[in-house]
Amino acid sequence: MKLNFFFTFLLLPYFIHAKEIALTFDDSPMPTSRHFKSHERTDELIRKLKELKIPKVMIFANPCKREGSASVISQLKKYREAGHLIGNHTCTHPRLDEVGFDRFSQDAALGDKLLGPLFLGQKFFRFPYLNESNDVKLRDKMRQWLIDTKYRNAMVSVDNDDYIFSFKINQAKEKDRKVNYKKVEELFVGHLIGAANFYNDLAVKTIGRSPKHVILLHEMDATVMFIEPLAAALRKDGWKIIGVDEAYEDKIYLEEPKNTYAGNGIIAQLNFEKTGKKVGYNHFDKIKVELNRILYRSSKP
């Protein structure tokens, strides 16, 4: 009786409301841009993660996106040396539904071969565009491929559109615009905190608890530039930033939903399974409009 009381009133609220989140960065290493040389961006992210005391993140790499895979591997190795983990995001970043099983699995296998020396422990694979296929047969073929090659599907719980910020600030630079980084930063941080809380609330509604979250970010300019205010805002909002190895221990990432609505992450997918409704934090067009207002004082998307 006493134990029951203890669980219901003291522990249960903790399980429901614990806001824990791990960071993952896709599409690494990104090429040189208007803001960073490729290797300098990597160095900057590693330095900031250390300074911010952010535990183990996972870097989802595409080792064939740039010429010279040897230099790419040595760049990625820096993450490993700094205590972070590397995951396979395929070699060239194809979309499964566009290229089909043979080309996709060959590309993923090449990623596996090149990144193999950088792996540590359980291997993780993240589908580019979170596209696990809209075709059930193809999806199941890839699920089997992951089992055969000893991978786990590196699902995300918090989807968002962080990449659009990097795309837009680089586009503005190309057009010789003076970028108001402070305003872009405010929008970026607000958008990402909104996404984290949105999927946390959806999780509580769907599975009755707050899982250990995994947020999808990209190793891109804006994300690297604004990682300090993002980490500060998350912590201020009650989030604890945890290691990605700890987050993937949550059993939510072992779920294999029957539906193919994977593009907004596992929580949206489980919610669809339960309610039949496709609910996601989809503010892509709104963010584009707001970025255009900041960068060009224009309200066109």
Residues of this chain that interact with Zn ion (CB under 5 A) are 26-27, 128
| Closer residue to Zn ion (CB): 88 or 269 | 88
- Report in angstroms how near the CB of residue 273 gets to Zn ion at its nearest: 24
Q: How far is the CB of 218 from Zn ion (least distance, A)?
A: 7
Residue 5 burial (CB < 10 Å; 0-12/13-18/19+)?
Answer: exposed
Cβ proximity to Zn ion: between 27 and 132 the closer is: 27
- Between 92 and 292, name the residue whose CB sits nearer to Zn ion: 92
What is the longest distance spanned by two Cα atoms in the chain? Answer: 69
| Nearer of residues 133 and 271 to Zn ion, judged by Cβ | 133
Determine the residue with CB nearest Zn ion. 26
* Closer to Zn ion by Cβ: residue 59 or 252: 59
Scanning the chain, the segments in alpha helix (DSSP H) are: 2-5, 12-17, 38-51, 69-81, 96-115, 136-148, 162-174, 181-207, 221-225, 227-236, 244-247, 266-275, 284-296
Q: How far is the CB of 26 from Zn ion (least distance, A)?
A: 4
**DSSP secondary structure code for residue 251 in this structure:** G
In angstroms, what CA-CA distances link 260 with 90, 134, 144, 256, 284? Answer: 20, 5, 16, 10, 21
For the bound state, the minimum distance from the C-beta of residue 93 to Zn ion, rounded and expressed in Å, comes to 6
Quote the tokens at residue 164: 């659009």
Residue the block writes with tokens 């399974």 = 273
Rounded to an integer, what distance in angstroms lies between the CA atom of residue 301 and that of residue 288? 5
φ, ψ for residue 19, nearest 5 deg: -110, 95
Q: How far is the CB of 63 from Zn ion (least distance, A)?
A: 13
Least distance CB 65 / Zn ion (angstroms): 10
Nearer to Zn ion, 110 or 289 (CB): 110
